[in-house]
Amino acid sequence: RYVFKHPRPPKPDAPRIYEAHVGMSGEEPEVSTYREFADNVLPRIRANNYNTVQLMAIMEHSYYASFGYHVTNFFAVSSRSGTPEDLKYLVDKAHSLGLRVLMDVVHSHASNNVTDGLNGYDVGQNTHESYFHTGDRGYHKLWDSRLFNYANWEVLRFLLSNLRYWMDEFMFDGFRFDGVTSMLYHHHGINKGFTGNYKEYFSLDTDVDAIVYMMLANHLMHKLLPEATIVAEDV
């Protein structure tokens, strides 16, 4: 079991974030590993005066071309690039260089796979039959994926414990939440433009349950790690 040797670097006043996909970071036409990234890429990131690295595609996903956004197992490290211990080595190496590490977390949707994903799981709450909304509301028509039912207590427990797992077990310094626009609005931002009108942001299109989840997630992360960096992708 890997034992971390270096403390988390202090939170910078001005984060300079380098976004990276470990598997695509090498020079050879193959999937790069966590250890290769740690030894070969992190020093270059530090040398270019970045103070934070944001890692994509860390959660296990079946479709590699999804860039990690069709998650099948939220508590598993993507095995294409190595083991959980290898990922810990990467994070520890980053900390030794003074780099904070953010994880690209996908809580806006999930793979629609049944065999190796959450789709079809019953969490046993009567009208809330699964982790996802039923009917058309449970599917994202552009992403071909399932949409979480944030009103379900078991979904909240699942997602919040997921954040704590990655922060405690792997020493991540924060998260970048992917696809937050899709979470905040029932229309998921599809064919919608935002002009700044107040009603575009707070109306019957607003998914209040998703907003509550984001509030809980932020509260939990800063309770566990006051210096956590939390980024939301709202486009």
Q: Is 178 a catalytic residue?
A: yes
CA distance 70 to 118: 11
- Helical (H) or strand (E) element with 209: helix 208-224
The DSSP letter of residue 40 is I
CA distance 74 to 162: 7
Question: H/E/C letters for each residue in 129-156?
Answer: EECECCHHHHEECCCCEECECCCCHHHH
- Which residue among 86, 104, 178, 207 is the active-site one? 178
CA distance 235 to 221: 23
Where does residue 63 fall: left (phi above 0), alpha (psi -120 to 50 degrees), or beta otherwise?
Answer: beta
Q: State the DSSP string of 163-180.
A: HHHHHHHH---EEEETTH
Pairing of strands 52-56, 100-105: parallel
- Which residue among 19, 85, 116, 233 is the active-site one? 233
Query: How many other C-beta atoms can be found within 10 angstroms of the C-beta atom of residue 159?
Result: 18
Q: Is 233 a catalytic residue?
A: yes
CB 33 within 8 A of CB 67: no
Active site residues: 178, 233
